[in-house]
Amino acid sequence: MSKMSRLLQGAGLGATLMYFFDPILGRRRRALVRGKLDHLTHLVEEGSQATADDFGNRVDGVLAQVGELFSTEPEDDVVLTERVRAQIGRLSCHPGAIFVTANNGQMTLTGPILRDEVGRVVHGVSRVRGVRGVVNQLQVHDTPGDVPGLQGECHPASEARSILESSWPPTARFAAIAGGGLLAFYSLTRRGPIGTLLAILSGAPAIRGISNVDLRRLFGIGEAPVAFEEHKIIDVPGPMDEVYDILAHPENFPRFMGHVDSVTAIGPDRYCWTVKGPAGIPISFETVVTRDQPNKLIAWHTVPNTLIPQVGRVLLQPTPAGTRVDVLISYQPPAGELGKLVAQFTGVSPKQALNDDMVRFKSLLMNGKTTAHGETVTLRTIDELDRQASASTVPRQG
């Protein structure tokens, strides 16, 4: 091992120890890690049980199908009718208009149907397990016209989704994770293009199995960008005008919001934010206030070409004990679901950040003080700064 490698490893170990054993924040950071490990342990236990149950059910299903292949007894007509009705529901725009009767495996179909669905429905019913024949007595119509059973919006018949797009069952997820893990381990023993290719091939199914999200949503590929929402409702003490006065001055947010480093007013209703990103890397963006109804509503969105587009609003409502603060934020992380997973893995969870900041905000109003960035701020200090900002700011447009 070279001297530079040992130096980098020592620096990394020292930084890690300083992070977790910081005299002010170290205890909280260690508690958060323990909480995440406990949560991960519960997820693994629940996933293992779900996988075992799913695998057992699938084995029972396969054995039952094999047994039916060698059985000479006809299928129960009641069970067979339900199977056929379920199949028709996937093939017809108006499945409720089709009546199904069974007689020793012979299925009779009656009722109105559109002409372009007849072949698909009859063929699909004939392929249902246990069906021995199909009697077509359907009333064919070129258009819905005034036929009662064919009214209403007609949705295209659903098609079986690709294995890459559908939600995977526990057994498939376990196979993808295990297979991807083994392939990744093998790729570590290879070098060059082959090792790189194996690493890529192993990563895709493993990530797909862990996230259980289709690949287009996972990587943010598609016509519409992937958007995620974080919603938080919290009741705080104090009248609405007092709560509004604090929220209407984002410049003071860094004083009681742990994930916000700075907010600077750069114009009427326009602010430049710097927040903590993945691995503590700061991310800057600009927002514009789009609606401002005193003591009631504040809405905003980011400017175009922002790395993480965002739209949000804060709604204030009176309660017997104070004010209800309803926060809704919609954002679009880079690379879709994968970007969100990476951010969470590196310690940046928008949901957790919002929850923590709202708890600090409640503490500020309830106790008159709170702590952020290792410093204590009082409500009196915030009020004084708000009054100074209001005296030097041009009134907003409502």
Which residue did the predictor score with more confidence, 344 or 356? 356
Q: Are residues 181 and 249 part of one domain? A: no
Residue 214: HSE in the Cβ half-sphere, 13 Å Cα cutoff: 12
Q: Say which CATH number the domain at 331 has.
A: 3.30.530.20
Give the pLDDT confidence score for residue 189 in this predicted structure: 79
Q: What is the DSSP string of 87-134?
A: HHHHH-S-GGG-EEEEETTEEEEEEEEEHHHHHHHHHHHHTSTT--EE
Higher-scoring residue by pLDDT: 357, 213: 357
Alpha-carbon separation of residue 109 from 14, 77, 96 (angstroms): 75, 14, 12
Map tokens 């009134």 to a residue. 395
Q: Classify residue 27 by its DSSP letter.
A: H
- Same domain? 367 vs 241: yes
**DSSP of 329-390:** EEE--TTHHHHHHHHHHTT--HHHHHHHHHHHHHHHHHHSEEEETTEEEEHHHHHHHHHHHH
70-91 pLDDT, tens per residue? 666 667 888 899 989 989 988 8
Q: Residue 354 domain-assigned? A: yes
Answer with the one of 23, 48, 73 that is the final residue of a domain. Answer: 73
Alpha-carbon span 196 to 179, nearest angstrom: 17
Average pLDDT estimate for 192-214? 76
Residue 155 lies in a domain: no
Whole-model pTM: value is 0.51
Buried b (16+ CB within 10 A) or exposed e, 79-100: ebeebbbebbeebbbbbebbeb
Q: Which domain holds residue 180?
A: 170-212
Average pLDDT of the chain to the nearest whole number: 80
Q: Is 55 helix (H, G, I), strand (E, B) or coil?
A: helix
pLDDT attached to residue 252? 84
Among 13, 46, 73, residue at a domain's last position: 73
**Domain contains 313:** yes
Which pLDDT score is estimated for 280? 67
* 204 falls within a domain: yes
Mean pLDDT of 159-164: 49
Q: How many CA atoms lie within 13 A of 327 on its CB side?
A: 19
Tokens for 135, please give them: 């009697």
Taken in order 162, 164, 166, 168, is the CA torsion positive or negative? positive
Do residues 203 and 307 both lie within one domain? no
Extract the tokens encoding 196: 């790189």
In a domain, 371, yes or no: yes
Q: Which one, of 203, 100, 208, lies nearest residue 162 by Cα? A: 208
14-18, 106-110, 358-362: which has the minimum mean pLDDT? 14-18
Tokens of 238: 């104090």
- pLDDT of res. 344: 56
Are 247 and 387 members of one domain?
Answer: yes
* Burial (0-12, 13-18, 19+ Cβ within 10 Å), 13: exposed
Q: What's the total number of domains in the chain?
A: 4
- Please report whether residue 397 resides in a domain: no
Is the Cβ–Cβ distance between 102 and 88 less than 8 Å? no
Sequence-distant (6+) residues with CB within 8 A of 181 are 202, 206
Query: Is the domain of 114 the same as that of 242?
Result: no
Pair 246, 358 in one domain? yes
Do residues 299 and 396 make contact, with C-beta atoms less than 8 angstroms apart?
no
Regarding whether 234 and 372 lie in a shared domain, the answer is yes
Say yes or no to pLDDT of 147 above 60: yes
CB 198, CB 186: distance < 8 Å: yes
Same domain, 277 and 331: yes
What's the gap between Cα 204 and its chain centre?
A: 19
pLDDT band for position 159 (cuts 50, 70, 90): very low
- 241 and 119 belong to one structural domain: no
pLDDT of residue 93: 85
∠ at Cα 157 (155, 161), nearest 5°? 115
- 326 with 381, same domain? yes
In a shared domain, residues 192 and 341: no
More confident residue, 212 or 367: 367
pLDDT of the residue at 160: 46
* Residue 373 sits in the same domain as residue 297: yes
- The string of DSSP codes covering 236-288 is EES-HHHHHHHHT-GGGHHHH-TTEEEEEEEETTEEEEEEE-GGG-EEEEEEE
Which of 160, 186, 212 delimits the end of a domain?
Answer: 212
Q: Is residue 123 part of a domain?
A: yes
Is residue 163 in a domain?
Answer: no
